[in-house]
């Protein structure tokens, strides 16, 4: 007998595997560090609340294990990309209590991929972004003069961040691999959900080249116009995921992050 309870009791036998319940429902069974699984489950439920974009349903959780519905993966057409752009705007508009707030029931000590992410709240986005997103990963990935450059760039965040925005309900790890396309719409998986700046999700979509990106952005901007100069701020918002990747994988990600910091430090 294959049931959610049996899958949770038996574990996943690996990080992620697929299974089929007795009623024919295809599911994903995921196991991992308990706080990471708890954060992901809470994030999926929080992102699903507005009904704005496709989100897999969490069918059950146990200590370090989660069962959720499986989303078949396809390719987007222009219509699906437009719907996703408008839906993402509605998801962000659903809001969050503060910058850094975790989803209801989610842990403060959360994760983005394999990197730790602390959900500490603040009302001021530039200072919160520097202290609780950029600098923690920079300190783990860089040192010496490189870390000094990041610290100098952080001092400029208030000057280059654009007009104040209310806290948005962010996916938080919205690179192209975490967006699936099925049934004429976009679905989001593997969130690092928290309250943040809506431009951060959009910058992450651009970082690794999401398909139909310009269509998504145009639909988003039509539904919820972005503040003037938002394209000039893409690098600012990509700095955090670049440093996460530098921490996890090293290589050229640190150099990319430092190039962003050099541009920010020079901006008048």
Strand-pairing partners, residue 187, are 54, 180
Are 244 and 137 in contact, with CB atoms under 8 Å apart? yes
- Of 122, 173, 190, 201, the active-site residue reads 173
Instruction: Give 141-158 pLDDT, tens digit per residue.
Output: 998 999 999 999 999 999
Q: SS3 for 190?
A: coil
Does residue 173 carry a catalytic annotation? yes
Mean pLDDT of the chain: 94
Across residues 200-226, what is the average pLDDT? Answer: 97
Instruction: Give 76-122 pLDDT, tens digit per residue.
Output: 999 999 999 999 999 999 999 999 999 999 999 999 999 999 999 99
Residue 98, pLDDT score: 97
Residue 63, pLDDT score: 86
pTM: 0.94
Domains and their CATH numbers in the chain: 73-266 (3.90.1200.10)
Q: SS3 for 96?
A: coil
Residue 265 has pLDDT above 90, yes or no: no
Distance CA 61, CA 9 (A): 10
Distance CA 174, CA 203 (A): 9
DSSP one-letter string for 117-165: EE---BS-HHHHHIIIIIHHHHHHH--HHHHHHHHHHHTTHHHHS-S--
Phi/psi region, residue 27 (left: phi>0; alpha: psi -120 to 50; beta: rest), is beta
């Amino acid at each position: 007998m294959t049931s959610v309870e049996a899958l949770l009791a038996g574990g996943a036998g690996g990080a992620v595997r697929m299974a089929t319940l007795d009623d024919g429902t295809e599911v994903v069974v995921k196991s991992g560090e308990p706080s990471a699984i708890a954060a992901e489950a809470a994030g999926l439920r929080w992102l699903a609340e507005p009904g704005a974009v496709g989100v897999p349903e969490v069918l059950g959780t146990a200590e370090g294990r989660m069962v959720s519905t499986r989303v078949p993966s396809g390719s987007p057409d222009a219509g699906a990309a437009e719907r996703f752009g408008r839906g993402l705007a509605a998801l962000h508009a659903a809001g969050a209590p503060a910058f850094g707030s975790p989803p209801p029931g989610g842990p403060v000590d959360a994760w983005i991929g394999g990197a730790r992410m602390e959900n500490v709240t603040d009302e001021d986005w530039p200072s919160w972004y520097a202290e609780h997103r950029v600098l923690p990963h920079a300190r783990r990935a860089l040192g010496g003069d490189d870390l000094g450059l990041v610290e100098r760039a952080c001092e400029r965040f208030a000057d280059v961040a654009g007009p104040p925005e209310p806290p948005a309900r962010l996916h938080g790890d919205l690179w192209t691999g975490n967006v699936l396309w099925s049934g004429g719409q976009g679905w989001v998986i593997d969130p690092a959900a928290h309250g943040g700046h809506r431009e951060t999700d959009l910058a992450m979509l651009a970082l690794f080249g999401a398909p139909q990106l310009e269509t998504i952005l145009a639909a988003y901007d039509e539904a919820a116009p972005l503040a003037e100069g938002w394209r000039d701020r893409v690098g600012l918002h990509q700095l955090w995921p670049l440093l996460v990747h530098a921490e996890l994988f090293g290589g050229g990600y640190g150099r990319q992050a430092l190039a962003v910091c050099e541009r920010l430090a020079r901006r008048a």
